[in-house]
Chains A and B, each alone.
Chain A
Amino acid sequence: MVCINCPMSCHLKVTLEDGQVKAVSGNTCPRGETYAIKELTNPTRMLTSTVNIKGAIHNGLPVITSGDIPKDKIFDVMKEITAAEVCAPVKINDVIIKDVCGLGVDIIASRSMEKVND
């Protein structure tokens, strides 16, 4: 399997025994091993999107989950992100949606946007 943690895209070899992960090789960092185990037991993803923003240089504020969310909750979280709206100014890492869908993960701003006059 391919590790998706970073663009290195390490090719992992996972040895399974009775449905349990026995060994992971091919990873160049410890995150590869964590990923392989999780992907086979409880797959999660980081989610990025945009939230509507008023009074900023662009109409969309890039946002990111503060941690992994279960893969099957991606579209539930997207619904909340689409419904949200904020006003400039926003600072990077500001919490935009607290505890999204009760997952214990926040939606946070992934850049700062100043207030602009136009």
Chain B
Amino acid sequence: MREVDVVVIGGGSAGLAAACKCKEEGIENVVVLERDKELGGILNQCIHNGFGLHTFNEELSGPAYAERFIDKAKALNVECKLNTMVTHISKDKVVEYVNPEEGYVRVQAKAIVLAMGCRERTRGAISIPGYRPVGVYNAGTAQRYLNMDGYLVGKRVFILGSGDIGLIMARRMTLEGAKVLGVAEIMPYSNGLARNMKQCLEDFDIPLYLSHTITNIEGKERVSGVTISEVDSNRNVVPGTEKHFDVDTLLLSVGLIPENSLTEEAEIEMNPVTKGAMVNESYETSIPGIFACGNVLHVHDLVDFVSAEGAKAGESAARYIREELKSAGGFNCKAKQNVSYVMPTRINVENVKDKVEFLFRVRVQARNATLNLYKDGELFRSIPKRHVAPAEMEKLIMKKSDLEGIKESFEIELVVD
């Protein structure tokens, strides 16, 4: 069996950043396994701009951002296998994959970086009843058809869910000549970034129906219309509030789920909130030497954060191989009131170099709120926040010295007036 230092599963933004960092740390034998026919992952279909402001101080399109990392990986001689599907990883870090050139292969890795990204939630996940006519697509699928394959999936479109992909596709299909009749969002607030509300909907006079959901998809062979209804504060449909739209296409932008079938097969401890692995400050999972980063760990809004996380996981894999990491010990990081989760979930201060970057999401949209940080149950610091929203991931940087001495827990809560 071939032996390699680090196997990176996934050649998107997280995986490429991780592989490049491993090389920069002096690890020789790094292999990226990518199932698509080219590197870059989901960035290749995200042709809109706004990527890379933090990483490159420029506003790049998704493919342009990906190209920077692909070029870097080439320059660093990272071995990348395309059209390669990983079928299994084991607790002792044997990776099984298949591709057309080599067939079925097993390799023994010293460390593994999980960077498989995420998938879209489908119609089945949100249980819209009715027939299965042609014309119901996930927004990201329609995006790939349009931006890479050159097919516009419909002419009169309604979109369910105000996630960023749905908003981006509302604009994109409008530009290509389709009529987007509206976007329905079951929550009383938008799930997309504020900038996308403005430049994708408002710019094109596309109405947003907050506290609304789809209650009927009409048409047997092809979608012929949709009905939306208002929902109350418990998200129950309010009878008599139906609105009908004649459309041939329904796009679903109803959330993303980390793609963790390999992770679960390896019996890695999972976080039920993020649907990703539990990781410590080094982005190491419950199995020493297996790391996770990017959207497979928790769904991000900004690719810059994904690349940064990938680089950290790559650096940790290198430190693990050099036997510099302590896998056990430390304290837990928890979400308190109005916070849905905190990443990482465990911290061993001994592994921390100078600081820890916490990423977390709040549960409510609010202005002039306060973040409270607790060490072992005692209030340690309060931070005023002018604006918070569930759609916008929050970042908190803590110095190592602020985390030393914690025995049991570090907790973050959000207090809203």
Contacts and interface: CB of A to CB of B under 8 A. Distances in A.
A47 B47 CA distance: 10
A11 interface: yes
B392 A60 contact: no
A111 interface: yes
B148 A110 contact: no
Contacts of A7: 50, 53, 193, 195, 301-302
A9 B61 contact: no
Interface stretch (A14-22, A51-59, A95-103): A51-59
Interface in B306-323: none
Interface residues of B, number: 35
A4 B47 contact: no
Interface residues of A, number: 33
Contacts of B37: 57
Given A4-B199, A6-B53, A49 B194 contact: no
Interface string B283-308: 00000000000000000011000000
Contacts of B203: 45, 71
Interface of B: 37-38, 44, 47-50, 53, 59-64, 66-67, 146-150, 175-176, 193-195, 197-199, 203, 301-302, 386-387, 392
Nearest to A50: B147
A57 B59 contact: no
A110 B198 contact: no
Nearest to A77: B175
A5 B196 CA distance: 10
A47 to B, nearest CB: 8
B195 A48 contact: no
B147 A64 contact: no
B198 A60 contact: no
Contact of B49 (A48, A52, A58): A48
A110 B47 contact: yes
Contact of B64 (A50, A59, A110): A110
A64 B193 contact: no
A47 B49 CA distance: 8
28 contacts: A2-B195, A6-B53, A7-B53, A8-B53, A9-B194, A11-B387, A46-B49, A47-B175, A48-B47, A48-B48, A48-B49, A49-B175, A50-B47, A50-B147, A52-B150, A57-B38, A58-B149, A59-B150, A60-B146, A60-B147, A60-B149, A62-B62, A64-B47, A64-B49, A71-B203, A92-B64, A111-B63, A111-B64
